[in-house]
Amino acid sequence: MRTVAVVGASLAGLSAARSLRKQGYDGRLVVIGDELHRPYDRPPLSKEFLAGTLGEADLALETDDEDLRAEWLLGVHATGLDHARRVVRLGDGREVQADGFVIATGAAARTLPGSEGLAGVHTLRTLDDARALRDELARGGRLVVIGGGFVGAEVASTAYALGLDVTVVEAAPTPLAGPLGETMGAVVSALHADHGVRLLCGVGVKGLSGERRVDAVLLEDGHSIPADIVVVGVGARPCVEWLEGSGIALDNGVKCGADGRTSLAGVVAVGDCANWYDPRAGTHRRVEHWTGARERPDAAIATLLSGGATEPGVPRPPYFWSDQYGVKIQFAGHAAGADSVTIEAGTADDRDVLAVYRRAGDPVAVLGMNQPRLFTRWRKQLAATAS
């Protein structure tokens, strides 16, 4: 290959570029990103950066002496992939021709219909999102977070520490039941009540009120919650619209094999937009975790450079972490499909629990709350079992 184009300039794209050089590729490397910023770390956006304890320079993912010998095309969207001509079309009219392509366009925050143009309403996905939200939180007031997932919970925790009046609204009966299961989802989400943050569950949001600026969140049960600031944290959608009509298989993102290969030769996909095959579960999973964006590009690049001649390995069980109200939460594996969950150490009431999820007696996931040492041991055991 003489030219490789990496479409997406966040962690997954940067990891792919690094992997290309690490695996011996010395040709032309073009990295395309729709943001003007160089690659930056996203997890702190809802925590330290939002709280003002971490600056923008601290978010940089590249080291000062790093030189990937890449051409960076930033602030421009990819609008199409012409596989026959081997080109990526860009929003400014340019085309980038390449022999190999890495799709790493990530995901975008879902918005609340009807909230467009209403001041005080935010999503949190990008550095620019975090800048705008940080400025608003600094003024104080009443914050309503729509969605009790991890990003919403982290924003609520940060805003609480800043002194805001915070309410979290979750449509599901139990927050975090999807990733953690109902039992442990209830334990983790109880952190809100521990700190006086209101948590309303089992009620959906009908809409927002306000003329130019939001002043309340309207609930489907007829009640309303006064709000000066609203954060919509209702998940993310894979950014793959630009690939429609390209011939690449799309299914909740870019459909991939266990090694990142797509339905098109010479094209692999990584990061939040990639729906990889999980050989352990026998199904495809789209994993939106920092560790996946950092680790999986190695396998995808090996596939790309070998023309698919490499045998795919078994990826480590997905891992993510969250910091809420001073509690470190860590999770590895998949809670879905587990038929039991047991507390192996600590107590749920003290929020220092180590819980193991099992299926037919075999561990498939582990959750730690302020249990970093025990969690690390169990995570290694899960990885060994998986491989």
Q: What are 44-54's pLDDT values in tens digits?
A: 999 999 999 99
Give the Cβ contact number of residue 112 at 10 Å.
18
Domain boundaries, the chain: 3-108+237-306, 111-234, 326-386
Is domain 326-386 annotated with CATH 2.40.30.10?
Answer: no
Correct CATH for 3-108+237-306 of 3.50.50.60, 3.30.70.580, 1.10.357.10, 3.30.70.20: 3.50.50.60
Long-range Cβ pairs for the range 243-252 (8 Å, 24+): 243/80, 243/81, 243/103, 245/80, 246/80, 246/81, 246/82, 246/83, 247/83, 248/81, 248/83, 248/103, 251/275, 251/284, 252/284, 252/286
Q: What pTM value is reported for the model?
A: 0.94
| Structural tokens at position 226 | 């006064």
Tell me if 3-108+237-306 shares its fold with 326-386.
no
| Residue-level pLDDT at 3 | 98
Reported as a single tens digit per residue, the pLDDT across 102-157 is 999 999 999 999 898 899 999 999 999 999 999 999 999 999 999 999 999 999 99
Question: 111-234: CATH homologous superfamily?
Answer: FAD/NAD(P)-binding domain (3.50.50.60)
Instruction: Evaluate if residue 386 carries a pLDDT over 90.
Output: no
| Residue-level pLDDT at 72 | 98
Reported as a single tens digit per residue, the pLDDT across 219-237 is 999 999 999 999 999 999 9
